[in-house]
Amino acid sequence: MQDSLADRFRAAFFLIVQAEGLASELKHAAAAANLGAWTRALTDAVVATCEALGLSASAIGHKLELLPIHRSEYLALDVVAFRAGEKRWRFPEAVMELENSAREDQIAYSLWKVLSVRAELRIVFCYRRNSEEIPALVRHLREEVIEAMGLAGRVKLEGETLLVVGSRSESGTFPFGYFGWWALDTNTGRFERL
pLDDT value at position 108?
98
pLDDT value at position 169?
66
Q: How confident is the model at residue 30 (pLDDT cuts 50, 70, 90)?
A: confident
CA 7 to chain centroid, in Å, comes to 13
Average pLDDT over residues 6-20: 93
Lowest mean pLDDT among 15-19, 100-104, 143-147, 170-174: 170-174
Are 176 and 14 a contacting pair, CB within 8 Å?
yes
Percentage, residues of the chain above pLDDT 90: 74
Using one digit for the tens of pLDDT, what is the confidence trace for 66-107? 999 999 999 999 999 999 888 999 999 999 999 999 899 999
| Start-end of H helices in the chain | 5-17, 20-31, 35-52, 104-115, 134-141, 147-156
Average pLDDT over residues 22-28: 84
Q: What angle do CA 90, 93, 14 make, to 5 degrees?
A: 150
pLDDT value at position 131?
86
Number of Cβ atoms within 10 Å of the Cβ of 148: 11
Are 30 and 38 a contacting pair, CB within 8 Å?
yes
User: Is residue 94 left, alpha or beta, with left meaning phi > 0 and alpha meaning psi from -120 to 50?
Assistant: beta
pLDDT value at position 51?
97
